[in-house]
Amino acid sequence: MTVSQIRIGTRGSPLALWQAHEVKRRLHDAHQHLAHDESVVITVIKTSGDRMQQGPLSEVGGKGLFTKEIEDALLGGAIDIAVHSMKDVPTWFPTGLLIDCLLPRADPRDALISSDAKSIDSLAPGTVVGTASLRRKAMLLHKRPDLEVVPLRGNVDTRLEKVASGDVGATFLALAGLNRLGRDDVPAWAVPVTEILPAVCQGIIGIERREKDDEIAELLKALNDFDATIQAAGERALLEGLDGSCRTPIAAFGELCGNNFRIRAAIIRPDGSELLKAERNGPISDAKVMGRDAAEELSGRASPGFFHE
């Protein structure tokens, strides 16, 4: 039996919809029998994370707030696949679901959004910076403890409006999201990974499916990107090794050079007072092993209370 229609589940933000439409386009291109517009249908699902717009994610439920309702629809058969930003995907999947299809990674770097500064170093002392990311907050305070960091939630437009109105002096967004939305009008300045290491899998789009849905699995094979698969394997192995959650600022970036894989990782106290780094290099076949090994090193070096503040 050939699948004649695929139902995609997604959040309703402009960026989430862009990602869902990108998956739809790739399915159209890869499979002739899915070339008609009605063959791939997008279903918008409002998540808890979309409804709860106040406070840091770590205090209101963590990454799962952006996936739970969508995954419930997937398990219940209301949709066939779900499209996620991999940086928002929790460490472990619900029983019966998996992600084994990843699109090519976009620019993994963070972008500083500011009308007055083009780099973190050029932010004026005392500048109020808004972010909902514990990782960004901790890394920023480690580098610039003289800045004031306040919670800032919302989609891309909401956060940009806060900067434009002067409610905050600056914020950070994923550069991949800005590029995908074509926001060339935004005063955005790419932050080198040597200054702020990205979130695990930042810039990667993942497609979630039911484990036993072999027909969907076969259709998704044509969309899977090899490099992104290796990068995600190493970075998520690190996350799992550190028992990662939104309460633990964790950062990682894996990159390929021929048959070699390099992963850089860091953990940070939420107040930025202590930052630990680890790095591994080796064959791409050992990406997961290197991620787990880096996690073990960081866990061993962390001082008491590092993961429990």
Could you give the CA distance from residue 48 to residue 36 in angstroms, rounded to a whole number?
A: 33
Q: Kindly name the residue from 88, 110, 213, 293 that is annotated as catalytic.
A: 88
Could you give the CA distance from residue 159 to residue 113 in angstroms, rounded to a whole number?
A: 9
- 213 as an active site residue: the answer is no
Where residue 288 falls (left for φ over 0; alpha for ψ -120 to 50; beta otherwise) is alpha
Residues 6+ apart with CB under 8 A from 194: none
CA 210 → CA 72, 81, 207, 215, distances in Å?
Answer: 11, 8, 10, 10
Could you give the CA distance from residue 122 to residue 16 in angstroms, rounded to a whole number?
A: 32
Q: What are phi and psi of 132, to 5 degrees?
A: -95, -5
Q: Is-contact 161 186, C-beta < 8 A?
A: no
Active-site annotation, residues = 88
